[in-house]
Every structure is written in C-alpha cells, then in structure tokens.
Amino acid sequence: MTNAFVFPGQGSQAIGMGKALADHYAAARAVFEEVDDALGEKLSDIVFNGPEDQLTLTANTQPALMAVSLAALRALEAEGITIKQHAAFVAGHSLGEYSALAAAGALTVTDAARLLRTRGNAMQKAVPVGEGAMAALLGLDFDTAVAVAREAAQDDVCEAANDNAPGQVVVSGAKLAVIRAVDIAKGKGAKRAMLLNVSAPFHCRLMQPAAEAMAEALAAATIAAPIVPIFANVTAAPTADPEAIRKQLVAQVTGTVRWRESVSAMAGAGVDKFVEVGAGKVLSGLIRRIAPAEGVIDFGKPSDIADVKALLGLV
C-alpha cells in the first residue's frame, strides 16, 4: 500500500471548518457532539460560528482541529475509505499527531479532546505572554537555521521548533533571542525572516512545564496500538508501540517537529499518495515541496470526496 493519511496542526484553523461535513454526514456530526461532551462545552459552536478570538485560543484550537480531522475521517469512512484498508501510515503535525493517533484507533476521540485541552492550556501557561516568540526562517537549510538559532540564543533559549520543508524552518524561544535570530538569518542569506503571530514559543525548552503536565496526563491515558504505524514528530520514524508513543508525545512538546524528515521517510518507505485529512491545505503544500508524489490531496469538505476516490483508485 502506498498511501499515507496526514493530519494538520495549529495554523490551519478557520471559522466554519468542518461545518459542511457535519451537515452532510451524521458520523461527522457525531464527532463534534462527542468532543463537546468530552469538554463539557459547545466547542463546535465556536468552530462553526466563531468568534475568531475564541477559536484561536490555543486551548480551543487544538481540540477543534482534531475534531475537524476526525469528522473528515468519519466522512471518508462513510464513503468506504478507511485507514485500515487504504493507508500504510499516518502522521500529524504537532497537535495533528493526536488526530493521527485517534484516527488509527490508538486514542479515543474523547481522550484525544481532553488531552489536547490539557496540552493547549499547559503550553499557553508555560511562558508568560510577551516573553516568548517564534519566527519563520525562509530560504535556509535546516543545519544553517540551527546554527542561526544557536548563535542567537547567547545566554537564552532559541531553538529550531519546526523543520517544515526545504527552506522553511521555524525557530522558537525567548523573544529577544528570536528577534536576534531574525536579524542573523537575514545576514546568512535567508530570503525572508519574520516573527510569527503566535501566543507562545512552542516546541522549545521553554515548554518544559507543559511537557511535565503532559507526562502526567499521558501516564493516566489509555493508548492502544494503532492499526497502522504512525510517523512520530520527534523521531521521523514509524512506530506502533503504545509506550513509545506515550514517551514521544511528551518529548514532542519541547522537541523539534521533524516534518520534512517524516515525509521523506514515508516516501522512502514507498508512499506516493498523501491525503491531508481535516482543515486547510498547509501540509499538502509542504509535502509537494518535500517528496515526489503521484498525488497529494486535502480533504475537508464533502465536495472533495470524488477527488480523493480518484487519487486512491476507487472510481
């Protein structure tokens, strides 16, 4: 089998995402109801109707994006497309790793929603607002971006947070150090280097308090073996071992999201068709830059189903 199903992370959210799925498929609608029940509030109302400032709160964004991804998966299942039959691997970008695990049966939707609410709250609280920052460095290879971050850190924290695609690396850390990284990157030949509009410095050592909170939450969570292996963010390698997954989810909070390497490794394992399941098309764009693929498609609305079936050879 040459297909992988991938699941987006923070930044893919938009008001109204998943609503057409919920309107069209009862199974998709049931996912939003399950997430609402798990959290004890109508998160679905914020997802479908806003306001945007509520959706973009990290504690809401993370379970919301998971809900949309699982709703999209249930829609695919209603059309006869399943991970067990049609995917060799799953993977997710940052919080999308939880979506991937729920999609592959390693986590229940309820547990994924609650873990992501805990994760979002913990990541937001780990660093006081205004003390951290993230920046995108465009046009530098990963090793050069790491060297830029190291030079910028001085006595502070500045680390590579996301290795997204060739020439697209995000650094994270203390605000002044990240600002220095932007200036240094420009001097090293970056095409662009800019601060990102984020609420906290994700995927760096400053997130250690959040990692500790997630270690406690995950220790109490039930994790089953996924029905297909998952490529983990922190290793860029496949695993189906529940205890390895538990440790990787903790390490992921402070570790680099190795998306470029993950996609390359999936391609090396024979994957040549990628289906992005959920909101937006960010991962589809990155994948096209990373690996030669027969096809890459995003599925987030009912009108996309014919294209997915065509890609997977089901028509």
Strands 89-92 and 230-231: parallel
State how far the Cα of 111 lies from the Cα of 250, in Å rounded to an integer. 16
- One-letter amino acid at 91 equals A
In the chain, the percentage of residues whose pLDDT exceeds 90 is: 97
**For residues 177-196, b (16+ Cβ closer than 10 Å) or e, as one string?**
bbebbbebbbebebeebeeb
**Coil, strand, or helix at residue 215?**
helix
Closest CA to 66 of 275, 272, 233, 279: 279
Q: What is the pLDDT of residues 227-238, one digit of tens each?
A: 999 999 999 999
Do you find a cis peptide bond into 51, omega within 30 degrees of 0?
Answer: yes
In this prediction, residues 71-88 reach a mean pLDDT of 98
pLDDT at 185: 98
Secondary structure E strands in the chain = 3-7, 89-92, 132-138, 158-165, 168-174, 192-195, 230-231, 238-239, 273-277, 295-299
Catalytic residue among 44, 69, 94, 172: 94
Task: Please state the rounded mean pLDDT for residues 240-245.
Answer: 98
Q: What end-to-end distance do the CA atoms of the chain give, in Å? A: 17
203 is catalytic: yes
State residue 276 phi and psi, 5-degree precision: -85, 120
Residue 44's alpha-carbon distances to 166, 208, 312, in angstroms, are: 35, 30, 30
Average pLDDT over residues 1-16: 94
User: What integer is the mean pLDDT of 99-120?
Assistant: 98
Q: Is the pLDDT of residue 49 over 80?
A: yes
Residue 34 has pLDDT above 80, yes or no: yes
**Length of the chain, in residues:** 315
- From the candidates 12, 69, 99, 203, give the one annotated as an active-site residue: 203
Counting residues of the chain whose pLDDT is more than 70, the rounded percentage is: 100
The predicted structure's pLDDT at residue 167: 97
pLDDT tens per residue, range 138-166: 999 999 999 999 999 999 999 999 999 99
What the chain holds in terms of domains, given with CATH numbers, is 3-126+206-312 (3.40.366.10), 132-198 (3.30.70.250)
Is 94 one of the annotated active-site residues of the chain? yes
Mean pLDDT over 274-280 rounds to 98
Q: Taking residues 264-289, report their average pLDDT.
A: 97
pLDDT at 199: 87
Please tell me the predicted confidence (pLDDT) of residue 293. 81
Give 1's pLDDT tier (boundaries 50, 70, 90): low
pLDDT tens string 163-199: 999 999 999 999 999 999 999 999 999 999 999 998 8
Sign of CA dihedral 91, 251, 14, 72: positive
CA-to-CA dists, residue 214 to 206, 250, 257, angstroms: 14, 6, 17
- Band (74; pLDDT cuts 50, 70, 90): very high
Q: What average pLDDT does the chain have? A: 97
Cα–Cα dist 128/26, whole Å: 41
Q: Which single residue is written with the structure tokens 């699982």?
A: 70
